[in-house]
Amino acid sequence: MINPPVVPCPGGTFYTVRAGDTLYRIARRYNLTVAQLLEANPNMDPNRLMIGQQICIPVAPVPCTGFTYTVVAGDTLFTIAARYNTTIQAILAVNPGLDPNRLFIGQQICIPVPAPACPGFVYTIAAGDTLFALASRYNTTVPAILAANPGLDPNRLFIGQQICIPVPAPAPACPGFVHTIVAGDTLFVLASRYNTTVQAILAANPGLDPNRLFIGQQICIPVPMPPACPGFVYAVVAGDTLNAIAVRFNTTVPAILAANPGLNPDFIAVGQSICIPVPRLLTGGAEE
């Protein structure tokens, strides 16, 4: 069992022993002597270092004057330095003890340059998100997203993670009204119903996937809100046609169309809500 540190380390920092470490190597890494390490760790057995053991390094940690980068597969200090317009020596100077030949995935190191600004907006990862899906949704590319997110692992996105999307932020307000998706809705059906176009709906809903609408989803319809129903709202059932509904409720198809701007008389879906412009009536012993 690995014992926790038993001595304070004032003015220094704790180091976690890794495979292959010796006191001599650790001392050289931090420009110290073995004697200085032993003095700072009086209870340590220099011949029995254990992986995961914490020892005191009696030097002050160097504050990161840039930003923290998370190592991903394929990284080397050379490629990282080139990516951020710095040098290997500058990276080593602000990461005491960093072994340039033993970087590992997930390791965090200091990059001594200012963090790149997000040239777009910050997006919070949700269930099912992938970089490819996000790139398609926001009309950008996976390489552009990776370039705007140094160290981002495209294969390890997690819910709640925030990343930079390098495009202008979506419009904050809906220039029309909000529609809640019901069974049978498609963008084509909605565009026909509300006398607009699929392209206009997509423009008002940045990131909307036209092929993945789900019941209960709210989207912006970029037209004025339809007028209040001058009668009652009816839910379409199997076998309904506008003509049959008009006959049932003692009205006309033109009157129903006038009360439902954008309604396609040739395409009404089961569960769709339409306005019947007459008082609610009982017909055939049943109330709709």
Q: Does 84 share its domain with 130?
A: no
Q: Is residue 3 part of a domain?
A: no
pLDDT digits (tens, 9 = 90+) for 48-75: 899 888 889 887 666 677 777 777 778 8
Classify residue 265: in a domain, yes or no.
yes
Give the count of beta carbons closer than 10 Å to the beta carbon of residue 73: 8
CATH number reported for the structural domain that contains residue 244 in this entry: 3.10.350.10
202 and 240 in a single domain? The answer is no
Q: Calculate what percentage of the chain has a pLDDT beyond 90.
A: 7
Alpha helices in 52-211 (DSSP H): 77-83, 88-93, 131-137, 142-148, 187-193, 198-204
**pTM value?**
0.34
pLDDT per residue as tens digits for the range 222-273: 887 777 788 888 888 889 999 999 999 999 998 898 888 767 788 787 878 8
Say whether both 261 and 280 belong to one domain.
Answer: yes
In a domain, 155, yes or no: yes
Q: Is the pLDDT of residue 6 over 70?
A: no
Percent residues over pLDDT 70 in the chain:
90
Render 141-168 in DSSP notation, one character per residue.
Answer: -HHHHHHHSTT--TT---TT-EEEESSP
User: Based on the structure, what is the number of domains in the chain?
Assistant: 5
- 287 confidence band (pLDDT: 50, 70, 90): very low
Is 227 or 129 the better-scoring residue by pLDDT? 129
Is 8 a domain residue? no
pLDDT surpassing 60 at residue 286: no
pLDDT at 5: 43
**pLDDT attached to residue 57:** 86
Secondary structure element (H or E) that encloses residue 287, with its range:
strand 286-287
Kindly list the distances between the CA atom of residue 165 and the CA atoms of 2, 16, 67, 141, 158, in Å, as whole numbers in the listed order.
43, 36, 19, 10, 16
Residue 227 in any domain: the answer is no
The answer as to whether 47 is a domain residue is: yes
pLDDT (tens digit, 9 = 90+) per residue, 136-192?
A: 888 888 888 887 887 677 888 877 777 889 887 665 678 888 887 877 788 988 887
Q: Same domain for 50 and 79?
A: no
CB atoms within 10 A of CB 272: 20
**Rg, Å, the chain Cα set:** 32
pLDDT at 206 exceeding the cut of 60: yes
Q: Is the pLDDT of residue 84 over 70?
A: yes
pLDDT for 283 beyond 60: no
Distance between CA atoms of residues 12 and 112, nearest Å? 21
Question: By mean pLDDT, which of 3-12, 73-82, 135-144, 206-215 is the weakest?
Answer: 3-12
Distance CA 98, CA 29 (A): 8
Is residue 7 one of the residues assigned to a domain? Answer: no
- The two tokens of residue 247 are 């006959």
Q: Please indicate, yes or no, whether residues 238 and 278 belong to a single structural domain of this protein.
A: yes
Question: Does residue 284 carry a pLDDT above 70?
Answer: no
Residue 171 lies in a domain: no
Contact 87, 111 (CB under 8 A): no
Query: Residue 159 is part of which domain span?
Result: 121-165
The helix/strand/coil state of 243 is helix
- The mean per-residue pLDDT over the stretch 204-210 comes to 81
**pLDDT value for 3:** 46
Task: Mention every residue, 6+ apart, whose C-beta is less than 8 A from residue 239.
Answer: none
Share the mean pLDDT of the chain: 81
Q: How far is CA 166 from CA 57, 118, 170, in A?
A: 41, 7, 12
CA distance 206 to 191: 16
| Predicted pLDDT at 147 | 79
